[in-house]
Amino acid sequence: MTTNVKFGLYLMTSKGLATLQSFIADISANYISYIVVAQDRNVTNDYYDEIVVLANSLGIPVYERSQTLPYASHLIAVSWRWLIEANSDQKLIVFHDSLLPRYRGFSPLPSALINGDGLVGVTALMASEEYDRGPVIAQKAVEISYPISISKAIELLEPCYQKLAIEVANSILRGDMVSTAQNEADATYSIWRDEQDYFIDWNWDAERIKRFIDALGFPYKGAATTLEGETFRIRECETLPDVHIENRSAGKVIFMRGYCPIVVCGTGLLKIQVMNKEGFTDNALPIKKFRSRFV
């Protein structure tokens, strides 16, 4: 084993916490020089506090990303959103939430779930000047079936992160880590999301809308729609078989089943079961009037 290796870990979200837990259990906290943490206001829980508490309990120094850091020979970033400047004698390894070269970029897992991919995973790669284009060290994958929530998908992926962290760290400690260039012909990109990207396009088919809602649930803010000029977040829904509509108009309520509105989609119908008015946690159903249009 190489004895002069020291790791600097850049960690966010439950995947960062899971990576730290496996690193401590199977590698040793003694190899960790420091941990860098940051908060993400775009998610409900960024696991900032949990990572800090665990690091403090083990006496591992914790830094914010704006602080001056001590030396580490190898930097590992998990769920990290910002540029990391490594020195020429440091190796920077990024854990990316997709099976590269597919879904380079931002929020790759929600994009994969919205698209209905049956296989998702994580890639450990060497950092490069252009994001997510560096050579691949190793990958782990898991099969999924639909419907599936983003929280469940993350739960299934966490063991992939843990196994990958152990595999990569051990290869570094042995001094036999290797990497392979990506095939550019297979590359796809997932671009950054902002608040506008949370809004449902009711012209999509009902199955895609269902996947969209499930993919943007906790720890994300939730898929959004507008009703009577106010924003709502749809939490739970169900697809229903289509009916023949002579004057189809996506977003309109066509039926009421109990307190649940049935909404016309581009194809298919969607039954809204739980939705919250922006800023509130109570179920906003039933809606005030039958003749309503979601936009």
Q: Provide the residue type at 108 as one letter.
A: P
**How much is the pLDDT for 232?**
98
Count up the domains in the chain and report the number. Answer: 2
Domain that holds residue 102: 7-190
Q: Is 287 contained in some domain?
A: no
Q: Is 40 contained in some domain?
A: yes
pLDDT tens digits for 192-241? Answer: 989 999 999 999 999 999 999 999 998 888 999 999 999 999 999 999 99
Closest CA to 105 of 185, 187, 190, 40: 190
Q: Is 270 contained in some domain?
A: yes
Q: Is 262 contained in some domain?
A: yes
Q: Is 291 contained in some domain?
A: no
Angstrom distances, CA of residue 234 to CA of 111, 138, 189, 208, 241: 18, 37, 27, 14, 20
- Cα distance between residue 234 and residue 251, in whole Å: 13
Q: Are residues 117 and 83 in the same domain?
A: yes
Q: Is 177 contained in some domain?
A: yes
Q: Are residues 177 and 258 in the same domain?
A: no
Q: Is 290 contained in some domain?
A: no
Query: Is-contact 78 38, C-beta < 8 A?
Result: no
Low-confidence ranges of the chain (pLDDT < 50): none
Q: Are residues 182 and 208 in the same domain?
A: no
Query: Is-contact 136 180, C-beta < 8 A?
Result: yes
Q: Are residues 129 and 216 in the same domain?
A: no
Q: Are residues 125 and 212 in the same domain?
A: no
Angle formed at CA 131 by CA 211 and CA 146, multiple of 5 degrees: 15
Query: Is-contact 224 198, C-beta < 8 A?
Result: yes
Q: Are residues 185 and 201 in the same domain?
A: no
Q: Is 103 contained in some domain?
A: yes
Could you tell me the two tokens for 145? 């079936």
Q: Are residues 21 and 87 in the same domain?
A: yes
Please state the length of the chain: 295
Question: pTM for the full model?
Answer: 0.91
Q: Are residues 259 and 210 in the same domain?
A: yes
Q: Are residues 150 and 16 in the same domain?
A: yes
Domain end point (choices 169, 190, 211): 190
Please state the φ and ψ torsions of residue 112, each to the nearest 5 degrees: -65, -40
**How much is the pLDDT for 3?**
62
Closest CA to 237 of 260, 205, 255: 260
Q: Are residues 94 and 216 in the same domain?
A: no
**How much is the pLDDT for 1?**
58
Q: Are residues 142 and 201 in the same domain?
A: no
Whole-number average pLDDT of the chain = 94
Q: Is 153 helix (H, G, I), strand (E, B) or coil?
A: helix
**How much is the pLDDT for 45?**
79
CATH number of the domain residue 218 falls in: 3.10.25.10
Q: Are residues 44 and 186 in the same domain?
A: yes
